[in-house]
């Protein structure tokens, strides 16, 4: 059975390290890869980009064999000894792919940690009051549900705070929350805070009218430290 194709820089499976890498590098994974291809990165960030590519390939391999196993046990094929042999072989391949993924993840983590340690601590994001309230509610436990009749998506929380799907997408795009897509949405996908989301809740709130955020600091004109001059 052939291996899955190499990942494209513009589309790759998400890994558990993506958010940490983007935070440490100060840019998206896609931009980090493009900088690597253009030879713009210093040695530590080049090593991180290479390690992340290897991790993505390993993650895609896991996804490939997991999807194949799901298809084999879906009832699509007649149940016979040949099917059992294919299932057993696929389970072995999946186990091997998981071992490879864990190995590559450890390598990527080893490349990431020195960059995280050297990065200056950044002030937590400032978010509108409505988003801050949503983060507080999500911190108590939250799930994204789909209404079986209307097919509308919404977040359910113990405090009954109203969180629309659009707001959830905005918080997720900002790296403040994450959701477990391994669960079907009709059964409820757990929504949790990321480290950045927890930092927002832990930071002092600025004084100001409700629903406002302080003016952002002027962006520095200096190039990121990981880009060569």
Residues 143-197 have pLDDT tens digits of 999 887 888 899 999 988 889 999 999 999 888 999 988 888 888 899 999 888 8
CATH architecture of 17-118: Orthogonal Bundle (1.10)
User: For residue 50, with 0-12 CB atoms within 10 Å meaning exposed, 13-18 middle and 19 or more buried, which class applies?
Assistant: middle
In whole angstroms, give the CA distance from residue 15 to residue 18: 5
Q: Which residue has the tokens 């696929």?
A: 90
Instruction: Tell me the backbone φ, ψ of residue 189, rounded to 5 degrees.
Output: -100, 120
Structure tokens at 27: 């840019």
Going by DSSP bridges, is the β-strand pair 163-164/153-156 parallel, antiparallel, or unpaired? antiparallel
Domain with CATH 1.10.287 in the chain: 17-118
- pLDDT tens, the chain, 229 aa long: 444 444 444 467 888 899 889 888 888 899 999 999 988 889 999 999 999 999 999 999 999 999 999 999 999 999 999 999 999 999 999 999 999 999 999 999 999 999 988 876 666 677 889 999 999 999 999 999 988 788 889 999 998 888 999 999 999 988 899 998 888 888 889 999 988 888 888 876 654 444 444 444 444 444 455 555 4
In whole angstroms, give the CA distance from residue 2 to residue 154: 40
pTM reported for the whole predicted model: 0.53
């Amino acid at each position: 059975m052939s291996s899955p194709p190499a990942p494209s820089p513009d589309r790759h499976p998400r890994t558990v390290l993506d958010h940490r890498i983007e935070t440490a590098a100060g840019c998206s994974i896609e931009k980090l890869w493009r900088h690597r291809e253009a030879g713009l990165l210093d040695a530590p960030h080049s090593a991180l980009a290479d390690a992340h590519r290897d991790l993505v390939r390993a993650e895609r391999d896991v996804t490939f064999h997991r999807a194949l196993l799901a298809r084999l046990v879906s009832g699509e094929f007649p149940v016979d000894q040949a099917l059992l042999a294919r299932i057993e072989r696929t389970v072995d391949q999946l186990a091997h792919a998981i071992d490879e993924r864990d190995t590559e993840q450890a390598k990527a983590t080893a490349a990431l940690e020195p960059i995280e340690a050297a990065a200056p601590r950044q002030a937590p994001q400032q978010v509108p009051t409505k988003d801050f309230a949503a983060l507080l509610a999500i911190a108590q436990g939250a799930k994204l549900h789909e209404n079986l009749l209307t097919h509308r998506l919404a977040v359910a929380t113990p405090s009954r705070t109203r969180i629309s799907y659009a707001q959830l997408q905005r918080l997720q795009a900002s790296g403040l929350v994450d959701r477990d897509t391994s669960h079907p949405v009709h059964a409820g996908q757990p929504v949790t805070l990321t480290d950045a989301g927890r930092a927002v809740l832990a930071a002092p709130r600025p004084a100001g009218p409700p629903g406002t955020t302080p003016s952002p600091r002027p962006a520095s004109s200096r190039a990121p430290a990981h880009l060569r001059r």
